[in-house]
């Protein structure tokens, strides 16, 4: 499409406005306050919890139901229903069975079922499980911003050059989020991950509490693998991302027409994408899917990528429009905004596709080892289960169908914020039922930790945006981006 005017290209430098800093700081402070209240009122903000407080100096322990699944439904036939050991307040039981009691029963309509029995866990487990959720979510959102950045180079995309500094700033947060994730997993591994508790027991075949499924997975599912392999992968991803960021900075000071840095970045992007595509599922399996240690899904990694990817695109759009509102990113037009909105729409549909068909495949196969994941979440958390679908698909889909919604700032920001919050809840829903079983609810602690990390994330990204110019002035495709037109 022709353009009858010349656009002047010049560098823009960003300084964080005082109100933006205050907004981020208020979020962090509010998050800390709500987290503090949530910690001291664990019994009050979770109707499923019953706290035993011995005195003002002792640890509060929360009795919550947990579930484990048998190796096969037939192995549980005729088993006795034993009461769990409630004497040890830290959950260090003498055998694996007492770590999470379960029992299969028959139901004419549904076949083999699971019964859930209460088991005592420290109150700190809920804090650590929330920290793990927050660390994982912000890690994945930030990492997907690097994926976004790399895919633009690998695809030789020109339209996105005008906004490339935004994902470039966002992806710098993933090492920080990863540290939070690892610390939470390390401190809470025995109570968050049943297999970690089982690993320490060292049971052999024939011994009481021996678990054939967990023993069979122990070559991959062990504490050494949990902390070493993801750390190696993140170090490689960080190295590649940092290298691309340095090349981007060097390109700004290069001679006009020099494509050396662009070509180097394209090669690094291709290497990152191949590595990311083959290894991201490993991180998902170890930190999230292993919460339900007996269960697995072959598309769980794809599902987690989908939930993080659409969140990352939403965050990129929100920061772009914020910068536009402050008089920056003058080269960005409604056409760029429209395309970001289309990506949000497309991957909202993709998320719903994976969400639905992971469920349908398990429902149709009707295998007890697979059913337990959805039995727990659908039967014990039905409102949350349905709300997850409505928030992350029905509402965004309905609004993003409209062309005007993608071009109306207030509306598209609201949808982006909804997706950002909704997919955090999606991750919460992956973790909490698997750790605690039925009966958990979102309380002040959960909300407070999310708000705090949102404030920290915003503060970090805004400061990263100040470290270099907002315009990639020497990028070979900048002019193409300037004159980008969606054509609709």
**Least reliable range by pLDDT among 289-303, 325-339, 354-368:** 354-368
**Least reliable range by pLDDT among 29-38, 124-133, 395-404, 434-443:** 434-443
What's the mean pLDDT in 372-394?
93
Whether 156 and 178 have beta carbons less than 8 Å apart is answered as no
Whether 9 has a pLDDT exceeding 90, the answer reads no
Instruction: State how far the Cα of 203 lies from the Cα of 185, in Å rounded to an integer.
Output: 23
pLDDT score recorded for residue 219: 92
Whether 153 and 319 have beta carbons less than 8 Å apart is answered as no
Q: Could you write out the DSSP letters of every residue in 61-96?
A: EEEEEE----SSGGGGTT---PPPP-S-TT---SSG
Whether 133 has a pLDDT exceeding 80, the answer reads yes
* CA 430 to chain centroid: 10
Residue 447 lies in a domain: yes
Mean pLDDT across the chain, nearest whole number?
85
Whether 156 has a pLDDT exceeding 70, the answer reads yes
Instruction: State how far the Cα of 462 lies from the Cα of 192, in Å rounded to an integer.
Output: 33
pLDDT score recorded for residue 112: 55
Whether 385 and 377 have beta carbons less than 8 Å apart is answered as yes
Instruction: State how far the Cα of 486 lies from the Cα of 418, in Å rounded to an integer.
Output: 25
pLDDT in tens, 452-467: 999 999 999 999 999 9
Residue 2 lies in a domain: no
Whether 345 has a pLDDT exceeding 60, the answer reads yes
What's the mean pLDDT in 277-294?
95
Would you call 460 helix, strand, or coil by DSSP? Answer: helix
List the domain range (segments joined by +) for residue 38. 18-482
Residue 294 lies in a domain: yes
* CA 304 to chain centroid: 7
Indicate the number of domains in the chain.
1
Residue 245 lies in a domain: yes
Residue 373 lies in a domain: yes
Element (H, E) at 33: helix 18-40
What's the mean pLDDT in 424-453?
94
Whether 63 and 49 have beta carbons less than 8 Å apart is answered as yes
Pairing verdict, β 61-66 and 50-52: antiparallel
pLDDT score recorded for residue 3: 52
Whether 372 has a pLDDT exceeding 50, the answer reads yes
State both tokens at 49: 């919890």
pLDDT score recorded for residue 488: 63
**Least reliable range by pLDDT among 30-44, 141-155, 444-458:** 30-44
Q: Rg of the chain's alpha carbons, rounded to an integer?
A: 24
Residue 302 lies in a domain: yes
Instruction: State how far the Cα of 126 lies from the Cα of 120, in Å rounded to an integer.
Output: 12
Report phi then psi at 102, rounded to 5: -150, 160
Instruction: Identify the burial level of 254 via C-beta atoms within 10 angstroms of its C-beta, where 0-12 means exposed, 13-18 middle and 19 or more buried.
Output: middle
Contacts of residue 123, defined as CB under 8 A and 6 or more positions apart, other chains included, come to 39, 42, 51, 59, 60, 61, 62
Whether 298 has a pLDDT exceeding 60, the answer reads yes
pLDDT score recorded for residue 41: 87
**Least reliable range by pLDDT among 116-130, 219-233, 286-300, 373-387:** 116-130
Would you call 116 helix, strand, or coil by DSSP? Answer: strand
Whether 41 and 444 have beta carbons less than 8 Å apart is answered as yes
Instruction: State how far the Cα of 286 lies from the Cα of 301, in Å rounded to an integer.
Output: 10
pLDDT score recorded for residue 119: 59
Residue 6 lies in a domain: no
pLDDT in tens, 193-250: 999 989 988 888 988 889 999 999 999 999 999 999 999 999 999 999 999 999 999 9
Residue 10 lies in a domain: no
Whether 234 and 174 have beta carbons less than 8 Å apart is answered as yes
């Amino acid at each position: 499409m022709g353009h009858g005017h010349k656009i002047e290209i010049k560098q823009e430098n960003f300084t964080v406005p005082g109100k933006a800093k205050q907004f981020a700081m208020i979020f962090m402070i509010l998050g800390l306050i709500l987290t503090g209240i949530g910690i001291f009122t664990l019994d009050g903000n979770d109707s499923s919890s019953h706290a035993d407080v011995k005195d003002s100096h002792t640890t509060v322990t929360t009795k919550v139901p947990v579930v484990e699944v048998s190796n096969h439904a037939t192995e549980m036939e005729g088993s006795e229903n034993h009461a769990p050991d409630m004497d040890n307040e830290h959950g260090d039981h003498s055998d694996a069975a007492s770590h999470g009691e379960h029992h299969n029963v028959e139901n004419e309509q549904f076949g083999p079922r699971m019964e859930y029995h209460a088991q005592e866990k420290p109150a700190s487990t809920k804090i650590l499980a929330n920290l793990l959720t927050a660390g994982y979510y912000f890690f994945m959102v930030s990492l997907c911003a690097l994926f976004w950045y790399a895919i633009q180079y690998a695809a030789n995309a020109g339209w996105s050059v005008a906004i490339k500094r935004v994902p470039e700033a966002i992806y710098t947060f993933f090492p920080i989020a990863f540290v939070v994730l690892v610390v939470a997993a390390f401190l809470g591994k025995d109570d968050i991950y049943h297999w970690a508790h089982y690993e320490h027991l060292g049971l052999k075949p024939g011994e009481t509490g021996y678990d054939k499924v967990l023993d069979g997975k122990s070559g991959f599912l062990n504490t050494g693998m949990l902390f070493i392999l993801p750390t190696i992968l993140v170090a490689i991803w960080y190295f590649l991302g940092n290298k691309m960021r340095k090349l981007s900075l060097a390109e700004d000071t290069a001679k006009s027409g020099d494509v050396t840095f662009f070509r180097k970045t394209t090669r690094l992007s291709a290497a990152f994408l191949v590595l990311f595509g083959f290894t991201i599922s490993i991180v998902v399996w170890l930190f999230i899917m292993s919460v339900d240690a007996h269960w697995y899904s072959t598309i769980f990694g794809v599902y987690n990528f989908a939930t993080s990817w659409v969140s990352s695109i939403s965050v990129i759009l929100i920061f772009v429009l914020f910068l536009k509102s402050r008089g920056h990113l003058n080269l960005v037009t409604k056409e760029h905004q429209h395309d970001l909105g289309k990506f949000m729409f497309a991957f909202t549909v993709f998320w719903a596709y994976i969400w639905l068909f992971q469920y349908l495949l398990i429902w149709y196969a009707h295998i007890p080892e697979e059913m337990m994941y959805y039995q727990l979440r659908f039967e014990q958390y039905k409102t949350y289960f349905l709300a997850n679908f409505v928030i992350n698909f029905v509402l965004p889909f309905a609004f993003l169908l409209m062309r005007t919604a993608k071009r109306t700032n207030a509306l598209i920001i609201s949808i982006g914020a909804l997706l950002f919050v909704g997919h955090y809840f999606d991750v919460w829903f992956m973790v909490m039922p698997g750790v605690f079983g039925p009966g958990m609810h979102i309380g002040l602690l959960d909300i407070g930790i999310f708000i705090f990390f949102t404030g920290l994330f915003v503060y970090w990204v805004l400061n990263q945006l100040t470290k270099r110019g907002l315009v990639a002035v020497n990028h070979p495709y900048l002019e193409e981006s300037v004159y980008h037109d969606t054509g609709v």
